[in-house]
């Protein structure tokens, strides 16, 4: 049996990746949500995570702990779950695209934090942010046309879609400009039942972690906040 430890659904983009993948693949797991703590979660998260970060996957049957979202999807792939596209070319492409997300796009990550329940008018689109968006647009168009499916690596939802799912929320929150094809793909992701469930839970969260809230307020003007309040 798997246990997935995640952070707040409103904010935690890295947690969303394995969560949505496991939901879409029908992998049974229990989830434990650890809310971020004001001033830093490190010492609290270190009690269960070697890096003081989430997500963490625990294979309770075999006593294995896996940290880092990319390591978690590879661990699942190792256990015969259909994590990557079946087609070899699509699989190589999907792995490259997921790795690119994992190690790159820092302008998007830093300037447009994931906050599922908010809508924000960005102060400015820096050249670095624009570059990240252009590259993601190029990547999504390539995956969708080259492998001919509804998802980036073909007809099935795979890990590469999971890695870009947080981008779909960011596009909506910050009204980011993308091609029609990319906007349609982002909308398609957000309409998945699993992401609807994630969003509903995110909107119910009443925690507000000042560090994450500050990132949003520094990025622009909050136009709507659909999250529940206490």
Ligand X SMILES: N[C@@H](CCC(=O)N[C@@H](CS)C(=O)NCC(=O)O)C(=O)O
113 belongs to the binding site for ligand X (CB under 6 A): no
Q: Give CA–CA dist 1/59, Å, rounded.
A: 6
Within positions 35 to 74, which residues make up the interface with ligand X, using CB under 6 A?
36, 40-42, 53-55, 68-70
CA atoms 69, 74, 102, 143: torsion sign? negative
Query: Which ranges of 26-82 would DSSP assign to H, the alpha helix?
Result: 42-45, 69-78
13 belongs to the binding site for ligand X (CB under 6 A): yes
| CB of 205 vs ligand X, minimal distance in Å | 14
Q: Give CA–CA dist 149/89, Å, rounded.
A: 14
Tokens found for residue 224: 């709507």
- Considering only 9, 10, 12, 151, the residue that binds ligand X (CB under 6 A) is 12
What are 222's strand-pairing partners?
A: 120
174 belongs to the binding site for ligand X (CB under 6 A): no
For ligand X (CB under 6 A), the number of binding residues is 15
| CB of 56 vs ligand X, minimal distance in Å | 8
- Considering only 2, 4, 7, 152, the residue that binds ligand X (CB under 6 A) is 7
What are 82's strand-pairing partners?
A: none
The footprint of ligand X (CB under 6 A) covers: 7, 12-15, 36, 40-42, 53-55, 68-70
């Amino acid at each position: 049996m798997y246990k997935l430890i995640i952070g707040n659904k409103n904010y935690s983009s890295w947690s969303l990746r394995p969560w949505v993948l496991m939901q879409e693949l029908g992998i049974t797991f229990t989830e434990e949500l650890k809310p971020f703590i004001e001033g830093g979660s490190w010492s609290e998260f270190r009690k269960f995570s070697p890096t003081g970060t989430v997500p963490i996957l625990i294979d309770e049957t075999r006593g294995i702990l896996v940290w880092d979202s990319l390591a978690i999807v590879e661990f699942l792939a190792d256990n015969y779950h259909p994590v990557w596209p079946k087609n070899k070319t699509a699989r190589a492409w999907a792995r490259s695209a997921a790795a690119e997300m994992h190690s790159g796009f820092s302008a998007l990550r830093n300037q447009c934090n994931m906050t599922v329940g908010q809508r924000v008018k960005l102060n400015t689109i820096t050249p670095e942010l624009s570059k990240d968006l252009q590259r993601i647009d190029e990547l999504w168009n390539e995956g969708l046309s080259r492998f001919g499916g509804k998802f980036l690596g073909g007809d099935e939802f795979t890990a590469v879609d999971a890695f870009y799912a947080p981008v779909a929320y960011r596009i909506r929150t910050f009204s980011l400009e993308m091609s029609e094809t990319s906007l349609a793909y982002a909308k398609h992701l957000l309409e998945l039942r699993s992401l609807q469930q994630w969003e509903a839970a995110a909107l119910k969260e009443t925690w507000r972690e000042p560090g994450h809230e500050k990132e949003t307020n520094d990025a622009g003007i909050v136009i709507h906040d659909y999250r529940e309040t206490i």
